[in-house]
Amino acid sequence: MPTPHINAADGAFAPAVLMPGDPRRAERIAHLLMPDAEKVSDVRGIGAFTGEYNGKPLSVMASGMGQPSLSIYATELFTQYGVKRIIRVGTCGGMATSAKVGDVVVAMSAHTDSSMFNLVPGVNLAPTASWNLLSAAIAAADDTMNLHVGPVVSRDRFYGNDPDGVKTLADLGTLGVEMETAALYMLAAQHNAEALTVLTVSDHLFDTSGDMTAEEREHKFEGALKLAVAAAHC
């Protein structure tokens, strides 16, 4: 049955969903991979599309921006539509000096400053990717791709983060900053599902000289998409 945020019919979603943040990117990915993809939901401008890619069913749906927004859609997909795995395809700000603009980051785990998931009193849970999706994505990388695998940080604030805190996170090996992955990984754990995030470094917190434009961020995701599709159908 339709949910408050998804008006798709039962069975409208494939077991695997690619989830960019931007609705326009979701539509672009859907038609790039599946020219005959059907729009199965469109509530509040968040389109969802289902078709076949290489003979296997696949869905694409936007999450919106931030952990609260992604949590709404991921929860409804996991609990009401039988979705088994969600692969986020997005962008991040580079933090590690090795993670250059245009590189691809596969998020093995996600730190967060959010208080959304204080599920166990006295315990700081460590949300991580699903191993089979992580390993499938890494295996799909080729020699032309600058790939990094490691932790990212999911922040609730886009602006106004403490520079000293950012530097400390980078010194601790954090590859990049974004706004959704920790929630996705935690929800997958809660609902006995699978999740992975694959990101394109669109800008860098310590060297802004090569930052992508808004238009480039919307289009330059081919490398990340290749790995995401491999994870979706592993």
Question: Which residues are identified as catalytic?
Answer: 203
- 134-139 CB contacts, 8 Å cutoff, 24+ apart: 134/106, 134/108, 134/196, 134/231, 135/234, 136/230, 136/231, 136/234, 137/106, 137/196, 137/198, 137/227, 137/228, 137/230, 137/231, 138/106, 138/227, 139/230
Alpha-helix runs per DSSP H in the chain: 23-33, 67-80, 131-139, 163-171, 181-190, 214-219, 222-232
